[in-house]
Amino acid sequence: MRYRAAKTSVIAAVLCVPLLAQDFSQHRPPSVKMTDAGVTNVTRGKAGNVTLHFEVEHGYHVNSNTPTAEFLIPTSLKLTAPTDIVIGRITYPKGQEMSFEFAPDEKLSVYSGGFDIGVVVRPLVGVVAAKYAVRGQLKYQACDKAACYPPKQLPVDFGIQVLKNAPAAHKNPAQSPHIHR
């Protein structure tokens, strides 16, 4: 019986740990996380679009790619692609124009919550059809309503599956313009 009581106590304590863990984690530095981008199919010789989704922790913001104030560090993505795969245009979303307690009269261009960055990838014609990894870093600098945190770099990676030819589109059988009955 005593053993059973002890076992129950241990289970109860273990069940309660997440409550404490949640509380202690509230004051860790802000984080920006990337959602798994998975693998995007791209036909060799053609450009493909990859969308990367990032989430800024609630209560914080990062500067947009085009901050309104001088000296602010823009959010920027740098990628390194394997040989024969070209990274094209990187498209950043427009920042949200927001004002904060520390500067109520000034509007800053920021990202908060979720934001997407688009990347154009183009495998060269001669590249072997296979799966490739693209890696890089997202540089950002986060603030909350009264303080700012040093710039950070978030590792970024995603996969692209290079295809020989475009995936076969569903073709409708050829139809005669005339209906024969």
Partner 1 sequence: MKRDPVIILVVAMVVTIMLVFGLQMARKSSPDPSEAANKGMQGKAAPDFELKALDGKTVHLSDYRGKAVLLNFWATWCQPCKIEMPWFAELQKQYGPEGLQIVGIAVDEDASTQDLADFAGKLGVNYPILVGKESVEDLFGGVQFLPATLYINREGKIVDKVFGLKGRGEIEESIKKALEPARVAQVVNQTGK
Residues lying near partner 1 in the complex (CB under 8 A) are found at 1-2, 4-5, 8-9, 11-13, 15-16, 19-20, 23, 27, 29, 69, 71-73, 100-103, 108, 141, 143, 146-151
| Residue with token string 């934001």 | 115
Min separation Cβ 87 and partner 1, Å: 24
Which is nearer to partner 1, 15 or 169 (by Cβ)? 15
Min separation Cβ 52 and partner 1, Å: 23
CB atoms closer than 10 angstroms to residue 98: 13
Min separation Cβ 26 and partner 1, Å: 8
DSSP characters over 56-108: EPTT-EEE-SS-SSTTPPPPEEEEE--TTEEEEEEEPPPPEEEEETTEEEEEE
For residue 44, the 8-state DSSP code is T
Min separation Cβ 159 and partner 1, Å: 32
Which is nearer to partner 1, 4 or 178 (by Cβ)? 4
**Residues whose CB is less than 8 angstroms from the CB of residue 136 and which lie 6 or more positions away in sequence, other chains included:** 77, 78, 79, 80, 155, 156, 157
Which is nearer to partner 1, 127 or 138 (by Cβ)? 138
Which is nearer to partner 1, 23 or 175 (by Cβ)? 23
